[in-house]
Amino acid sequence: MASNTRITCFDARLLRGLVGTTVTTYDLVSDDASVVPRKHWVITKKLIERAAPMTDHDVKMGRGSAKTVGKFLCHAAEDPSQEAFMRIYQQIPLTGTEDADHDTLARQAVAPGVCGEFEAFKRLQSAGCGAVPRFLGHAESTQGDNDLLPGGYIRYLVWEKVPGSL
């Protein structure tokens, strides 16, 4: 990121270079706790991204973590005809610290909070709701030393692309 660059709600260029990337997700539940069903998804197109910048004060007031959220089109690696949507939540540096050194950035890393979208999918699916797209998988990982926020979270959610959806 360039020097003195500030992240704004309209900055939609933080999740870059992901087209062609494969993400491994896991099912909501498994009948056998020793077997974790998983699926591989290939990102094919970025649809939208919106950053949610926060200051240190915002975080201390309980407003969550600074993050960027992107929606992508993807397909199952095993079956390219199975298209789906993927949402990626990635923690970003606090406003004013974008150009800070590695250690300062790494101290900002937090465990991801509860994801309302994920919780809604879990509840709707477990209740057998057929009025929403099927939830297809999720994953969480930690950013590497050269990512936006070393040690920060990355969360992936995948749901089916139904006819007529954008």
8 or 36, which is more confident: 36
Number of structural domains in the chain = 1
- Provide, rounded to the nearest whole percent, the portion of the chain with pLDDT above 90: 63
Does residue 7 form part of some domain? no
Q: Residue 11 falls within a domain, yes or no?
A: no
User: Is 137 part of any domain?
Assistant: yes
76 within some domain = yes
Residue 3 belongs to some domain of the structure? no
Q: Is the pLDDT of residue 128 over 90?
A: no
Banded pLDDT at 6 (limits 50, 70, 90): low
pTM of the model: 0.86
What is the pLDDT averaged over residues 118-142? Answer: 88
Task: Give domain status of residue 4, yes or no.
Answer: no
Mean pLDDT on 22-45: 80
Query: Closest Cα to residue 160, out of 99, 82, 45?
Result: 82
Q: What is the pLDDT of residue 116?
A: 85
Q: How confident is the model at residue 138 (pLDDT cuts 50, 70, 90)?
A: very high
pLDDT of residue 155: 95
For residues 119 and 20, which has the higher predicted lDDT (pLDDT)? Answer: 20
SS (H, E, C) 63-85: CCCCEEEEEEEEEECCEEEEEEE
- Is a pLDDT exceeding 70 seen at residue 160? yes
In a domain? residue 6: no
pLDDT at 5 over 70: no
- The reply to whether 2 falls in a domain is no
Confidence at residue 2, expressed as pLDDT on a 0 to 100 scale: 46
How confident is the model over 57-110, as pLDDT tens digits? Answer: 998 998 889 999 999 999 999 999 999 999 999 999 999 999 999 999 999 998
Which of 1, 79, 81, 89 is CA-nearest to residue 40? 79
Q: Is 34's pLDDT higher than 60?
A: no
Contact in structure between 87 and 74 (CB atoms under 8 Å): no
Range of the domain at 122: 22-160
What is the Cα–Cα distance from 10 to 4, expressed in whole angstroms? 16
